[in-house]
């Protein structure tokens, strides 16, 4: 597997932002965060909100 340097990562991020747009990436990020928090709560057993 090729190693990715900082410039390659920045180019990939720029292409993703151009394709999806910043608003859609923000919605995707929020969905991932909510999913991760829900997973953490289920692992800990915290069902209270």
pLDDT digits (tens, 9 = 90+) for 13-38: 889 888 888 788 888 889 999 999 98
**Structural tokens at position 27:** 């919605």
pLDDT of residue 10: 92
State the residue for tokens 């829900």. 38
pLDDT of residue 19: 87
Q: What is the C-alpha to C-alpha distance for residues 29 and 45, in angstroms, rounded to an integer?
A: 24
Query: Contact 16/25 with Cβ under 8 angstroms?
Result: yes
Listing DSSP states for 1-49 in one string gives: -PPP-HHHHHHHHHHHHHHH-HHHHHHHHHHHHHHHHHHHHHHHT----
Which pTM value belongs to this model? 0.51
Domain regions of the chain by residue span: 7-40
Q: Please state the rounded mean pLDDT for residues 1-15.
A: 88
pLDDT of residue 29: 86
């Amino acid at each position: 597997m090729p190693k990715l340097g900082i410039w390659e990562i920045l180019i990939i991020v720029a292409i993703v932002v151009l394709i999806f747009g910043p608003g859609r990436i923000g919605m995707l990020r929020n969905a991932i965060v909510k999913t991760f928090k829900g997973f953490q709560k289920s692992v800990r057993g915290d069902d209270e909100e």
